[in-house]
Structure 1
């Protein structure tokens, strides 16, 4: 069945917001068939703790602006290492580059399909 179209749209908005703050290695995964409690993961990296927090702030602002939606849960904010924003159907993981390598979420979810992201994200979020 896969991720719902509304979830994919939310992933796109969050990915664009992250790319505006120079997030790197932006990847979206359709976890709907494997996880059941959420449709998609958006995983992005920042090079420093302040950048991780800036990315989180921008994602929250853009999602609030576009969908009037706040995260159901927010974990790790302030430490700037790994912040999780849970929007129910979409979970955004903003990780410091070192933590991204260590935890390797893409490897854990390697059997899940990749969600195609807008070209603007792919250009800036490499």
Structure 2
């Protein structure tokens, strides 16, 4: 059974949570951005944790949906995983505070990913 984009976003959030990601948000981008249906934003406190979160998300989704593009894992300060309708941002906490994407997309609906 194919996953819809909301399922992908929730699975990504749960995979990030398994690696103790902080402040995990799933934002519904319908009517706000043409880039994706959902953004997942989370952060880690070290480059090691950022890489662990990215690996956990990729492992959870690898057989379910194609990863279109991955950027930023070399320095592990801000990684982006593009799954088409779902874009996942994994920040080092310092970068997250600096860029404040959740404020940029402040009108987006916050989705409860824990259900």
TM-score bucket of the superposed structures, by smaller chain: over 0.9
Provide the TM-score with structure 2 as the length reference. 0.93
User: Which position in structure 1 is the counterpart of 2:58?
Assistant: 60
The answer on 1:77 being equivalent to 2:82 is: no
In structure 2, C-alpha distance between the alignment counterparts of 1:70 and 1:80, rounded to whole Å: 21
How much has 1:115 moved relative to structure 2?
1.1
How much has 1:32 moved relative to structure 2?
2.3
In structure 2, C-alpha distance between the alignment counterparts of 1:32 and 1:54, rounded to whole Å: 29
In structure 1, C-alpha distance between the alignment counterparts of 2:91 and 2:52, rounded to whole Å: 12
1:20-39 matched pairs, under 5 angstroms:
20-39=18-37
In structure 2, C-alpha distance between the alignment counterparts of 1:20 and 1:32, rounded to whole Å: 27
Q: Deviations over 1:88-115 (max 9, x none)?
A: 0000000000000000000000011111
Gapped runs of 5+ residues in structure 2?
none
Provide the TM-score with structure 1 as the length reference. 0.85
Residues 60 and 70 of structure 1 are in contact (CA less than 8 Å); yes or no, is this contact kept in structure 2? no
Structure with greater helix percent: 1
SS in 1 for 2:109: coil
Which contiguous aligned blocks of 4+ residues in structure 1 show a shift greater than 4 angstroms? Answer: none
Structure with greater strand percent: 2
User: Which position in structure 2 is the counterpart of 1:112?
Assistant: 108
Residues 81 and 95 of structure 1 are in contact (CA less than 8 Å); yes or no, is this contact kept in structure 2? yes
Alpha-carbon RMSD across the aligned residues, in angstroms, is: 1.3
SS in 1 for 2:35: coil
How much has 1:64 moved relative to structure 2?
1.2
